[in-house]
Amino acid sequence: MQVNQLAQNPYIVQTQAPGSVEQAPSPQAAGAANTDKVSISAQGKQLQASWQSLADGYDVRNISQREMSALSDALYQGGFIGRGEHLVLGAPRSMHANPDTKHDMLGEMQQSFARYSSTMAAEAKQNYQGAIDILQNLASSRHG
């Protein structure tokens, strides 16, 4: 699972206890296999399950503005996105559009970014690109 690096939660990966030293096996040891051991904390597993639930529950290629707002809130409250991405994702695309009409949010955001990024302030560009990255990650994590 990959999430936005700006808002990455520290509980995702736990490799070893602070201050502990792990000795690598000797290369001369007969039949010794070089392996790395990584474990995911209970909180990391919970975050991973939450991410997968969001990816499976929302199709960012066929989503309404009302659903997008709920997804944005869930991503922000879950610690997957920062405030800037939350504002970008939760903002209405049109004041006059039906909030229940489904559309390809990821595709529309990619097109808008390609068209208007040259006129955006650096922070706005970073937030918009971060929001697109999150939507791409959700789309690639989706099972079904």
CA 99 – CA 37 distance, rounded (Å): 47
Spatial CA neighbour of 77 closest among 50, 100, 53:
50
Count how many domains the chain has: 1
Q: Which domain holds residue 11?
A: 5-141
pLDDT digits (tens, 9 = 90+) for 5-39: 444 454 444 444 445 445 555 555 555 567 888 88
Q: Which two tokens stand for residue 64?
A: 């309404």
The structure tokens 């996105």 sit at 81
Longest dimension (CA), the chain: 71
pLDDT digits (tens, 9 = 90+) for 36-52: 888 889 988 999 999 99
